[in-house]
Structure 1
Amino acid sequence: MIEVKLHDIGEGMTQADVLALFVQPGDQVNPDEPLVEVQTDKMTAEIPAPYAGVIREVKVEVGQTISVGTTIFILERMAHESEAEVASAVEAHSVTETKYYSKESTVHSVPSEEEKSKTRRTMASPYTRKLARENGVDIEMVTGSGPAGRITDEDVLNFGTKKKIQQDMPLKSTKQKTEEKGLAEVKSTTIPFKGRRRQIAAKMSQSLLTIPHCTHFEEVDVTNILEMREFWKKRKVSVSATALFVKAISISLREYPIFNARLNEDKALIELHEEHHIGVAIDTEEGLIVPVVRNVEKKSLLAIHNELKELTVKAQENRLTISEITGSTFTISNVGPLGGSIGATPIINQPEVGLISFHKTKKRPIVNDQDEIVIRSMMNISMSFDHRVADGATAVAFTNRLTELLEEPKLLLLELV
C-alpha cells in the first residue's frame, strides 16, 4: 500500500482546500490519471496517480482544508508492477509533471464509470484532461500528436471549439432570527468562504501576525512622467506607468538593498537578494493574484512593459503557471487606475520586506519652488515595510529616491538598461 500525500506545490504553501475528488474506493487508476483537485492561495492543481493501482481508501472530503503531508488516498499497486517500478513512480510523483493554473475551478462531480474508462484509455497530462473537460471535448475521440500518441493541449483545442466555463457562485438565501426581542426577521445571503479567498485570508493573517508592519506615506508629482508617456505615444511607442514604477523601484532597491531582502529568523540572518523579481498585484474575478517580472534590473522599459502586458492577460484568463507567480522579492500594487484611492496600509507579501501601493493621480494646485501656484498631477504612495529588518529613516530615504526618479524621469533614463 502506498500513501498519496499532499506535497508542496508552491513556494511557502502550507495547506490547500480539496475542491474535487475524481476517484472513489475500489476505482482502478493508471499512472498520470488525476485523483484530486486542490486549491491554494495562488493556484488550482490536479494531483495525479503516481502509478497504476486500485484506490483502497479516500482519507479526505470535498471542502476540507488539508496541510502539506496529509495523506489523501491509500493506493494499492498493481500486482504486475515490480518494487523498482513503484519506487520510480513514487519518486517521479514527488516532482510531478502536473501543470498548475491560477483558476478557482468549478467543483466537479465524481465521473461516471463510462467517463472514467474513457479517460484511462488515453495518454494525456492532468492539465490536458482538464482542458478537455472544460471545453466539452471527449478526450477518447482525440488523436494525439505527441510522442507515442500522447494527447497535447493543442490537440484538445484543435479538436473542438473552445468555450469558457461560467462559474456560478452559489448563493444561499437564509433567514437570521435575531436574539433581541421586538426585531423583525432579517433576510440575508451567503457565499462560500473557501478556495483562493480563504487561502488569501490565511496568508494575510499570517503576515500581520508575524511581521510588525510600518507604513510610510509620500506624495509624488508625476506630471513629467505623464508628459513623457504622451511624447512616446505620439511616436507610437506605448509604455505603461506601471512599467516605469517597476523600473524606478528596481533602481531604488539597488541603492537600498535592505528592502530586497528576506529575514531568516532560524539562522539569525537577513538575506539580501541580488536579483530584482518584482511582483505586481492584479485584480481578477477569483481574487488578487501576483505575477512576477523577473530580473527587472537587467530589463529595459519596453521589455518590462511587454512582459507585464502578457502576464496581465494570463492573469485575467487564469493561465499563469507556477513559475510566473512565485519567487518575488518585492511587490507593488498599482491601484490608481481603479480610482478613488488616496492612501492605504498594504499588507506585506511574506516573506518579503516591503510593498508599495501607487494610488490615484489627481490634478491639484501646488506651490512650486518659485512660490507660484501651479497645477500638477499628484499621486500618493504607501510603503509598508518590516520594522524588524529596516527602520523608518531608511524607508524615508528609499521613498525619497523613488520619488526623485518618478518626478524627474530624465534621471530614470540614465539608469535604464
Structure 2
Amino acid sequence: MLDVKLHDIGEGMTEGEIVQYLVQVGDKVTVDQPLVEVQTDKMTAELPSPCAGIVKEIIIETGETVQVGTSLLCIEEDFSARIGNEPKPELSAAKEVAAIVSEKAGKFSSTPFRRVLAAPYTRKIARENNITIEDVPSSDPSGRVTEEDVYRFIEGKKAVKEPIIEVQPVTSNENPSDEISFKGIRKQIARKMTHSLLTIPHVTHFDEVNMTNIINMRDELKMAGESVSLSAFFIKALTISLKEFPIFNAELDEANDRIVLKRNYHIGIATNTANGLLVPVVHDADKKTIKDLHRVIKELTEKAITGKLKPSEMQNSTFTMSNVGPLGSTGATPIINHPETAIIAFHKTKKQPIVNEHDEIVIGHVMTLSMSFDHRVADGATAVAFTNRFSSLIEQPHNLLLEMI
C-alpha cells in the first residue's frame, strides 16, 4: 500500500488546503494521473499519482488544511504496470469511445477516463455552486470548460461575469450578518502580510513623476505598430536604478548579521486576481529588452488571472512593484514582500498644470508613486535618491534608451 502525501510544490510551502479529490475509492489510476487539487498560498495545483493502482482509502476530507508530509490517500499499487503488463490499449480506447457515446446520448459517464479540461478557478466556481464540472457544456472548440460556461449553466442563458462568493447567513435577530470563508489564498495573504509588518519596520516615501514624455513615446510606438506597456518601461528603469542602489535589491540575514546584495534582478509584479493577490516574477529582468518585458508581463498576468501560474514563476523575487494606477489609486503604503527590502507602487496618472524646462505652464501627465522600505537596511535619503534616479529615466526616456546601449 502506498501513501500519497502532500509534498512541497513550490516556494517552501508548509501547508495546503484540500480543495477536491479527482478520484474516488475503488478507482483505477495510472502514473501521473491527477489525484487531488490542493490550494497553497499562491495557487491551486494538482498532485499526480506516483504509481498505477487502485485507490483504497481517502484519509483527509476536502476543505481541511494540512501540513506538508501528511498522508492524503492510499493506493494499492499495481506492480504489473511497472513491467508493462497494463491493460491492452484497445480496451482503454473502447472505454473512451463508450464515454463519448454516452455523452452524446445525454448520459454523462462516471468513468475516470473522462477528464474535463478546466482551469482550477473554473472548478472552484463550480464547486462553490454545487455544480459537477462534467455536467457543464463547453462553448470552446477545444472542449475546455470556461468560467462563462459555468455561469451560463447556473443562470440558464444569462452570462454572469462576476465570480459568485458563497455567503453563509448567520441567524441573529439583533445583529443580522453574513459570512464568507477565510481560508485558501486569502488566509495565506493575511499570514504573509502580518509576518511582514511585524518583522519589518516599514517607512513609506512618496513622490511624483512627470509621465508626459514616456506616454508620448508609448503612443508614438503604438502608431508605428509596436504596443508596449508602461509597466515594461517601469521595470527597465527599476533594474537600472537597482544596479546603482543595490541596497534595495537586498535581503537582511539577521541570523548571520549581514545584508545580502542580490546580483540577480527578479522583479515581482503584484497582480490582482479573483482569487486574491498573486506575485508572478519577471526573472532576470535586467537582461531583457523592453519588448521582451512587455511580452513576459502580459503572459504572466494572464496566467495569474486564469490560475495557470507555475510555482517556478512565483519564486525568488528580489524586488516587487505594484501598478495600481489603472484601478484609480492615488496613494497607498504598500507592504513589503518579505524577505525583500523594498516595494514600489505606481498610482493614478492625472493631467494637471506643470512647469516645463522653459518655465512655461503647460498641461502634462503626472503620476504619484509610493515606496516602502525596510528601515533596518536603508535610510530615507537613499530611498529619495533611488526614486529620483527612477524618475529621471521615466521623465527623460531618451536617457533610459541610452542606458541600454
Shorter-normalised TM-score: what interval?
Answer: 0.7 to 0.9
SS at match of 1:115: coil
Paired amino acid for 1:70 = T
Shift in Å at residue 161 of structure 1? 6.1
Question: Paired residue for 1:307?
Answer: 296
What are the within-5 Å matches in structure 2 for residues 11-160 of structure 1? 11-23=11-23, 29-55=29-55, 57-78=57-78, 115=110, 118=113, 160=143
- Would the aligned equivalents of 2:23 and 2:112 in 1 still touch at CA under 8 Å? no
Q: Structure 1, residues 195-230: CA drift from partner, whole Å, max 9, x if none?
A: 222222222222222222221111111111122222
Question: Paired residue for 2:393?
Answer: 405
Question: Paired residue for 1:144?
Answer: none
Shift in Å at residue 337 of structure 1? 1.0
Q: Distance in 1 between matches of 2:193 and 2:30?
A: 39
Q: 1:365 aligns with which of 353, 360, 374?
A: 353
Shift in Å at residue 290 of structure 1? 1.9
Q: Distance in 2 between matches of 1:291 and 1:13?
A: 16
What are the within-5 Å matches in structure 2 for residues 145-224 of structure 1? 160=143, 162-164=145-147, 165-166=150-151, 168-177=164-173, 185-224=174-213
- Would the aligned equivalents of 2:237 and 2:394 in 1 still touch at CA under 8 Å? yes
Q: Distance in 1 between matches of 2:110 and 2:315?
A: 35
Shift in Å at residue 63 of structure 1? 1.4
Question: Paired residue for 2:90?
Answer: none
Tell whether 2:276 aligns with 1:276: no
Q: Structure 1, residues 330-351: CA drift from partner, whole Å, max 9, x if none?
A: 1111111111x22111111222
Which sits farther off after the overlay, 389-398 or 404-413? 389-398
Question: Paired residue for 2:215?
Answer: 226
Consecutive unaligned residues in structure 2, runs of 5 or more? 85-108, 124-131, 152-162
26 and 135 in structure 1: CA distance in 2 versus 1, 3 angstrom threshold: closer
Q: Distance in 2 between matches of 1:245 and 1:344?
A: 18
Shift in Å at residue 256 of structure 1? 1.1
Q: Distance in 1 between matches of 2:134 and 2:243?
A: 46
Shift in Å at residue 272 of structure 1? 2.2
Tell whether 2:331 aligns with 1:343: yes
SS at match of 1:37: strand
Tell whether 2:379 aligns with 1:391: yes
Give the superposed CA RMSD: 3.2
SS at match of 1:337: helix
Q: 1:294 aligns with which of 261, 283, 299?
A: 283
Q: Scaled by the length of structure 2, what TM-score is found?
A: 0.77
Q: Distance in 1 between matches of 2:270 and 2:31?
A: 37
Q: Scaled by the length of structure 1, what TM-score is found?
A: 0.75
Q: Distance in 2 between matches of 1:26 and 1:309?
A: 43
Consecutive unaligned residues in structure 1, runs of 5 or more? 86-113, 139-156, 178-184
Which sits farther off after the overlay, 311-320 or 71-80? 71-80
Question: Paired residue for 1:107?
Answer: none
Paired amino acid for 2:301 = T
Paired amino acid for 1:333 = S
Shift in Å at residue 23 of structure 1? 4.6
Tell whether 2:367 aligns with 1:379: yes
Q: Structure 1, residues 334-391: CA drift from partner, whole Å, max 9, x if none?
A: 111111x221111112222211000001122335566654433211111111223222
